[in-house]
Amino acid sequence: MYRKLSIACLQYSSTENEKYTLETIKDLINKAIDAKAELITLPECATSLQKNSLLTKELAKTEDENISLLFLKEIAKSKSIFILIGSLPIKLKKKLVNRSFLIGPEGDILYRYDKIHLYDVSLPNGDVYKESDTYNAGNKAVIAKINRNKIKIGMTICYDVRFPNLYQDLAQNGAEIIVVPSAFSNVTGPIHWHTLLKARAIETGAFIIAPAQTGHHECGRTSYGHSLIISPWGEVLRDANKKVGIICAKINLEEVIKARRAIPSLISKKNYLTNF
């Protein structure tokens, strides 16, 4: 069985106007296609970042009305590729969810994942983020399946990376690739980003694919960049650094089998007693 997959991560800075961001994305997708990518991945907040929760809520649309989703579905269909949309703000009646989509080569939505762990933090530099002011948390872990070569992909978003049990559960249930689309803080990024993602790869014996936002945004935020493709052994195969652009790698899923045989931690977990 053919067990290889060419993957691209797009790295850029989402603007407040999704139409402007989509122009950047379109150019980067064309570059990824020229590089023979079969699965193209976009970061969290894939097409827009707003100044505050009120604006995000005001501008959010349902799936049927979301121009970014419709635009990217059409590209996936016209180019016959898989596209992972890191996340879009999706309106569900009076609620919003931070939702990731895997779009198939016929332009259909194959899988949806709503971000489970919301980014509610107070950083050392005084920055405060409360994602729960904008979104409702998801409650369902998702493994997407690409039937063409029977590859299983665990879907997560950004802050989820700090919760290793989710990643281990995905791996124990068959995920060989785990995607981590992100808009990671430039405060925590220099210390935490590479370490967390490498740890998740090593713990699960899975490929980690992490497309990320980079640079200064119109809304005032700054994102860390450094989109990464990491092997099941914890090796950084590609690092986009801070630049707008793409990274690509052709991964071999046999490496997942080899890593899990060498370090069988997923099947060696023990139950234990506590005295607390």
* 124 domain-assigned: yes
| pLDDT given for residue 95 in this prediction | 86
Q: Is residue 271 situated within a structural domain?
A: no
Domain-located, residue 138: yes
pLDDT of residue 2: 64
Token pair belonging to 107: 């332009």
240 located within any domain? yes
**Angle between helix 189-204 and 164-172 (nearest 10):** 30
Query: Is 161 inside a domain boundary?
Result: yes
Whether 151 maps to a domain, the answer reads yes
Q: Which position among 9, 45, 158, 248 bears the catalytic label?
A: 158
131 a catalytic residue: no
For helices 67-79 and 18-34, what crossing angle results, to 10°? Answer: 20
Residue 276 maps to a domain:
no
**Selected catalytic residue, list 44, 131, 176, 255:** 44
What pLDDT shows up at residue 110? 97
Strand partners, 224: 214
**CATH number of the domain where residue 204 is located:** 3.60.110.10
Which domain does 95 fall in, by range?
Answer: 4-263
Position 24 scores a pLDDT of 97
Tokens of 120: 């509610």
Q: Is 9 a catalytic residue?
A: no
> Of the listed 38, 45, 115, 198, which one is catalytic?
115
Digit-by-digit pLDDT tens for the chain (276 residues) are 568 999 999 999 999 999 999 999 999 999 999 999 999 999 999 999 999 989 999 999 999 999 999 999 999 999 999 999 999 999 998 789 999 999 999 999 999 999 999 988 888 887 788 898 899 999 999 999 987 778 999 999 999 999 999 999 999 999 999 999 999 999 999 999 999 999 999 999 999 999 999 999 999 899 999 999 999 999 999 999 999 999 999 999 999 999 999 999 999 888 899 999
Query: How many residues in the chain?
Result: 276
What pLDDT score does 1 carry? 56
pLDDT score recorded for residue 129: 82
pLDDT for 93 equals 81
Closest CA to 258 of 210, 209, 208, 207: 207
Quick check: is 115 catalytic?
A: yes
In a domain, 273, yes or no: no
Total domains present in the chain: 1
CB 20 within 8 A of CB 3: no
**CA dist., res. 96 & res. 136, Å (int):** 6
Up-side HSE of residue 207: CA atoms within 13 Å toward CB? Answer: 24
